[in-house]
């Protein structure tokens, strides 16, 4: 019985990659990424004034369509590429909501590269061998919380290879 309880607890344990708590964009309240364990997690560094900003629309549509099957999209605004996210968290939240109707979870401005990069982004770069080179870089984390794929900014949310990777991840335990 103790062994069964231990393995059940292990299954509920938060994978190290998701074992981070970050402030939410809208209210700065801490949000544990462990809340998303067992889901397919798409992490995207975002910006409001970028040539790729229109991807918010496709990301929101993906989220709305695939959330019932276990996809969660997590947005992390960053001002590290071309000063394209200069606003406050409140301004960013309003822009995302009013311009693109973003309902997927968004977090406060985050450093995604360099020595001050958040440990989550350092882990993602280490696991994939790829760090964001610009806004809207995408990391797809499988339900196991360990398997990660990386997609560059130029990969649109409607790209067939990208959508197939998400569908594949959703189809796995």
The residues that are catalytic are 50
φ, ψ dihedrals at 141, nearest 5°: -105, 125
For residue 14, the 8-state DSSP code is P
Torsion, Cα 125 105 83 126, to 10 degrees, reads: 0
Rounded to whole angstroms, what are the CA distances from 5 to 9, 10, 163?
A: 6, 9, 37
Q: Please, are residues 143 and 39 in contact by the beta-carbon 8 Å criterion?
A: yes
Q: 82 by DSSP, 3-state: which? A: coil
Instruction: Give the C-alpha separation, 127 to 160, whole Å.
Output: 24
φ, ψ dihedrals at 150, nearest 5°: -120, 140
Q: Which residues contact 83 (CB under 8 A, 6 or more apart)?
A: none
Tokens linked to 88: 């406050």
């Amino acid at each position: 019985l103790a062994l069964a309880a231990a393995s059940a607890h292990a299954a509920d344990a938060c994978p190290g990659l998701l074992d981070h708590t970050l402030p939410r964009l809208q209210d700065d309240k801490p949000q544990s990424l462990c809340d998303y364990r067992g889901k397919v997690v798409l992490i995207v560094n975002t910006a409001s004034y970028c040539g790729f900003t229109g991807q918010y629309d496709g990301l929101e549509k993906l989220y709305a369509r695939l959330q019932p099957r276990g996809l969660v999209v997590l947005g992390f605004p960053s001002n590290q590429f071309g000063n394209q996210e200069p606003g406050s968290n409140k301004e960013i939240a309003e822009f995302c909501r009013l311009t693109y109707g973003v309902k997927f979870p968004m977090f406060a401005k985050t450093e995604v590269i360099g020595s001050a990069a958040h440990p989550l982004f350092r882990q993602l770069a280490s696991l994939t061998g790829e760090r964001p080179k610009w806004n809207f870089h995408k990391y797809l984390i499988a339900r196991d919380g360990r398997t990660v794929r990386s997609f560059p900014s130029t990969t649109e949310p409607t790209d067939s290879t990208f959508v197939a990777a998400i569908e594949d991840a959703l189809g796995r335990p």
